Amino acid sequence: MDPLSALAIAAAVVQFVDIGGRLLKKAWESHNGHAREKTEQQQLEEVEKQLSFLIDGVREASKTLSGSIVSNPTTPMQAQLLRLHAECVDISTEFNAAIQHMRALAQRPTRNRFSFRGHQSADKDVRDRDVRHILERLPVLRREVIDCVVLGLWDNSKETQQRELCLSRQMDAVIGMLAQLDESTKRAVQGFRAEEVDGDISGLRHELVETIWRKDWTSDAALTNTPEDDTPTRMNTDVVAHAISRDVGFETACLREAAIAQNFIGTYSWIFQAEPKWQNNKSAWDSFPKWLEDGSEPFYWITAKPGSGKSTLMKFVLQHKFLREGLSRWAGSLPFLVCKYYAWHPGQSLQKSIEGLKRTVLAQALLLFPELARIVTPRRWALFQVLRKDPVFPPWDTWELQESFDALLSQCGKPIKLLLA
């Protein structure tokens, strides 16, 4: 079955579910409330016509499904779409039964409509349960049809060289088709992008991870380009970057800095002196302000005995306005990022290791400059973009962490300047 036919069926079902459900709910609430903007009969006739139009749309879109099954063996996607088509027809029958019941009540003379109240109350309870049952089935039906199409598109992409890119483009087509629907169904597009790709498609995620996390995998520009056009086919850069930042970071990263006392005002102001003190006919330390602005030396080392106040000095430096002023002159027109890692020997493994340093720097850099996500973490960016939601990421292996850290360093001096303290 060709993808466009499957998309047409999905679009018709989503429209049937979204508009049909709201029409039924509105009619039932109006019936129970005895609204009289129009006569109840007129309202119910209009609802009945619109529901009939919607289910006809599902039947029309499904004609290609029956034809392809006659000429070819049934695929899992076709079998699932046939089942969902039958369920749509079944629900439309229940829709009609509920509408007919309301029309029958509306046709009774007023003096008879409220007779036998005990009997009517019981009958109303039964109908309330019927309507609630229909409305509860609709979101499940919508999720199932979209899951079905996405899995079918994934199967169709097996023959392509870059399955994840092929799937992404086909999902763009899914969202594009849904976006062309009536204005009243556009919230289904948003729901699909952020929520609908879920449920029973964990196998799809597993296969995507296996594909994207191959060490020889290379990202395609179509997946890594920054979405600046505000189309519904790409996740927002900030959303993706923040999600990856949370994933690579760790809970205890800020504990050491928070534990350092603030009683250092004035104590360490010497570090910002342009001309350090002289001792034994030489400078007692290298000028930190000159180092900030020069940029010719990549490192400024501060060494001292344990417990002598190195971390306290660094906290003072990082919070001082002179640091930002010096970095602005050094960075010129480029944005600069200040990332910090407080190594702490009594702490947990990630608080005193190279792995912890890399994870901390990556997490902070992605928060400070989200545009880095597509370059620094292309695998996680691609998974996010293909699934159109915050996925369950695989654990960080050492090789991927190094790959991302190297990618971050490669951007220094290009779109950003980086200070690591």
pLDDT of residue 65: 64
Tokens standing for 410? 């490669």
Q: What would the DSSP string read from start to end of 79-127?
A: HHHHHHHHHHHHHHHHHHHHHHHHHHHHHS-HHHHTSSHHHHHHHHHHH
Identify the CA nearest to 185 among candidates 171, 170, 196: 196
Q: Quote the mean pLDDT of the chain.
A: 76
Higher-confidence residue: 409 or 62?
409
- Per-residue pLDDT band for 187 (boundaries 50, 70, 90) equals very low
Interval 276-313: pLDDT, tens: 888 877 888 888 988 888 877 788 998 888 888 888 88
Tokens standing for 149? 């199409």
Given a contact cutoff of 8 angstroms between Cβ atoms, the answer to whether 135 and 21 are in contact is yes
For the segment 34-50, the average pLDDT, to the nearest whole number, is: 65
Tell me the percentage of the chain whose pLDDT exceeds 90.
18
Q: How far apart are CA 177 and CA 145, in angstroms?
A: 14
Record the pTM.
0.62
For the chain, the structural domain boundaries read 3-212, 247-420
For the segment 261-273, the average pLDDT, to the nearest whole number, is: 79
Q: Taking 60 as the threshold, does the pLDDT of residue 249 lie above it? A: yes
Interval 138-157: pLDDT, tens: 888 877 777 777 667 666 66
Q: Which of 183-192, 203-212, 299-308 has the highest mean pLDDT?
A: 299-308
- Per-residue pLDDT band for 27 (boundaries 50, 70, 90) equals confident
